[in-house]
Amino acid sequence: MRTKYLLIAIVSLSAVLGGGTFAHASTKDKINIYVNEAVEQSKIPGIEMTVIQDGVLKPSKSYGNLKADNIMPIGSISKPLTSYAIMKLVEGNKLKLDDKLSSYISELNLTHEGSKSDVTVRQLLNHTSGLSTAEGRRLIGTNDNSVYRHAMRLSNAQLMHQPGTTFEYSNANYAILGALIEKVSNQSYADFMHKNVFMPLGMYSTSADVSVTQSTNFTSGYQSWFGFNVPSTIKYNPGGAPYGYVASTAHDLGTFLIAQLNTSDKLIRETQESSTVIDQASKTYYGLGWVLREQEGRNIILHAGDNADYSSFMQLDLNKGNGVVVMINRNHYLEPTYSIDIGLGILNIINNGKSGGIGESGGMIRLIGAFVVLLSIALLVFYAAKPTYRGKKRKALIILAVIFCFVALLLPVTLLKLIEATLMVAFMNAPDVTIAVLFLELLLVVFVLLVSFYEYRFKMLSIKNR
C-alpha cells in the first residue's frame, strides 16, 4: 500500500459519497449494476469482490475477464496477515511486542544520524521504527526467493526518525517482520503462514509461496499503457510476501475480515487497538497492521494494497458488521485507486442505497500529452539541425538549450521523487510515463548536444574569419 493509497483512503472515507441511485432494485442488483458500470467505464480487465452484510460473508463474484475464485497478489493487505502471524508468536510466548529487534536478528545494522540504533517489534508493526517510505519502495524493484535474504537488503538502512517518535509508512518494516517470523519460528515465512494463519482461519486458497503462481486459479495481472490493458511480465516476488506478495482470493480475505469481528479474542483485539495517529482530524490511526478509523461513533478497520499489476481494498465496520473486499487485476501509479473507489461505492450501496463515483484513468490524456510534448521537442531538434545557425535563430536555440539542459537534469529526479523509488520501480508502476520521460530525456539531450556543436562550430568560424 503506497502512501498515496493511504491518504486517498482517508480522504475518501471522510467524504459523503455521491453517485447513482437504483430505484426498486435489491442491494445485490444495485451492486451488480454498479460494478459492471465501473468495469465498463474504467476499462479494468476484471474485478473480484465479496461483501459482508450484518456479519455474514456473501459468495464472491467476478466481473470482466475473471472467473470464480481468482487468486491474486494482494499488495499491502499482506500486512494485517503478517501482523496476525507476529501476534501468534506473541501468544505462544516466542517473543514480546516491546522486545528489541537485535535480540533476534543481529545482522541488521540500523543507524540514526550516524549512530547505531535499535527498534522494537511494536515499532515495526505500527510504522514508527524510523524506516522511510522510500526505503520500502526500493525493495519492490528487487526480486528474491528468500524472505530473510530480501529483508537483509536493509542491513545498513538509515532511520529517518528516532524510533518510536514518528509515523512513516514503509514496506521495510514488514519485510523485517517477515524475517523475524522465520528466525523465531525456525520455519520459512510461507510455511509458518500456511500452518498457523491460513489453514486455522479457513483461508484455503491463500499462499505466500511461489508455487501459488502454478495454480490454475492464479490470475495474470495487467499494466496500463495510456489506458490500454497490457499483460504484465512482472514476476511474483516471494521475498516480498510479508509486505505485499501474499496471494489470496476475495472469499479468503472476506473470511479474514469475519475473524476480525471476534473481538473477544485477545490476539484480534490487540491488532485493532490504535497505536499511532495518522490523521487526527479524521480520527484515523494505525494499529498493528490495520488502518483504524472512528466514523459516526463506529469503529472501522481497513487496508488497501497495490502491486505493479494488481490492486486491492478491504474494509469492515466492526459495529454494523458490514464490509467489502475488492481485487482488481490491473494497476497504475497515476490512475485513480479503483479498488478503493469501487469498494467504498459498494459499501455506500449497502449502507445508504447509493453508489460512489469512478474516476477516469487519464490514459488518453497521458497519451496525447506525451505525443504533443515529444513531437514538439522532435520538431525543435529537426529545426536545430538545419544548416542556418545565426542571428535570432542562434539566440533562440541557445536559450532553449539552456532551459532544456536544466529540464533534462530535473526530469529524472522529479519522476523518481514522484514514484518514491528507483527507475525500475517507476517502470513497474507507471511504464507508459517512464518510457515517455526517457524518450523526452533523450530528445532533450540530443537537442542540447546539437546546439552545443553548432555553437562551438560558430565560435571556431568566427575566430577563423577575424
Given a cut of 70, the residues of the chain with pLDDT beneath it are 1-24, 356-364, 387, 419, 421, 466
Q: Which of 358, 271, 332, 344 is nearest to 83 (CA)?
A: 271
**Strand pairing report for 72-73 and 247-248:** antiparallel
Distances in whole angstroms, Cα of residue 153 to Cα of each of 1, 140, 308, 404: 20, 11, 21, 37
pLDDT score, position 77: 97
What pLDDT is recorded for position 433? 87
Distance CA 82, CA 344 (A): 25
CA nearest neighbour of 423 among 402, 441, 405, 406: 441
**351: how many CB neighbours lie within 10 A of its CB?**
14
Q: In this predicted structure, what is the pLDDT of residue 358?
A: 67
Cα–Cα dist 164/128, whole Å: 5
Verdict on whether the full-model pTM lies above 0.85: yes
Instruction: Tally DSSP H helices, then E strands, for the chain.
Output: 16, 17
Q: What is the pLDDT of residue 97?
A: 95
C-alpha cell at 388: 542556418
Give the residue among 265, 247, 257 at the shortest CA–CA distance from 70. Answer: 247
pLDDT at residue 142 in the model: 87
Parallel, antiparallel, or unpaired for β 330-331 and 311-317? Answer: unpaired
| pLDDT at site 360 | 62
Give pLDDT, residue 119.
96
Query: What are the tens digits of pLDDT across the range 194-251?
Result: 999 999 999 999 999 999 999 999 999 999 998 899 999 999 999 999 999 999 999 9
Asked if 177 contacts 170 with a C-beta cutoff of 8 angstroms, the reply is: no
Share of the chain above pLDDT 70, in %: 92
